[in-house]
Amino acid sequence: MSEPRIILIAAVSRNNVIGRELDMPWKLSSDLKRFKVETMGKPMIMGRKTFLSVGERPLPGRPHIIISRNPDYRPDGVEVVSSLEDALSRAKSKARELGVEAVYVAGGGEIYRQAMPFADQLSVTHVEVELDGDTFFPEIDPAVFEKTDETALPAGEKDDYAVRFATYQRHGAAK
């Protein structure tokens, strides 16, 4: 089996906002469904604040690796590490154990910033709105990542805003 791919997954506004006060600033049922389908069965890395924002409980069907600088932080049902490097190492090891091809990085802003240089792929829900926020996704550099797929969906009953689901591949990364 080849080395597991590192995929950053995020919903991002036009002005790169991903969060406000430990919450996502929108309701997007289609994005949550996509997130579940993509990440199910695969190791998922997130920072402590992101883990708090999902109710401080693991999402079913995915091993969670939480990054925290607090050595006393030990929530049930997850593995806690102190650095992104440790998280990536543990997640890749877990992916190999499970026989899956990818590990997902699910936020927050600082974790995305640190993980971007290691990412093979970005799975981005572009939310068609500009909002105030306090947590941001890093700029996607077209010299580094190429958009390889995009699907647009209109706003609807269960989606506050129109979205575009986009996949970006690192230039030269295996697909």
**Position 22 in a domain:** yes
**Position 16 in a domain:** yes
Specify the pLDDT at position 175.
Answer: 61
**Position 128 in a domain:** yes
**Position 143 in a domain:** yes
Full 3-state SS string of the chain: CCCCEEEEEEEEECCCEEECCCCCCCCEHHHHHHHHHHHCCCCEEEEHHHHHHCCCCCCCCCCEEEECCCCCCCCCCCEEECCHHHHHHHHHHHHHHHCCCEEEECCCHHHHHHHHHHCCEEEEEEECCCCCCCEECCCCCCCCEEEEEEEEECCECCECCCEEEEEEEECCCCC
Per the structure, the count of domains in the chain is 1
Task: Compute mean pLDDT per 10 residues along the chain, 175 residues long, and list them.
Answer: 92 97 92 97 97 90 96 93 98 97 97 98 98 97 97 93 98 75
**Position 60 in a domain:** yes
Specify the pLDDT at position 172.
Answer: 84
Specify the pLDDT at position 56.
Answer: 85
What CATH number should be reported for the domain holding residue 113?
A: 3.40.430.10
Flag whether the pTM goes above 0.85: yes
Domain interval for residue 73: 5-170
**Position 175 in a domain:** no
**Position 161 in a domain:** yes
**Position 124 in a domain:** yes
Specify the pLDDT at position 2.
Answer: 83
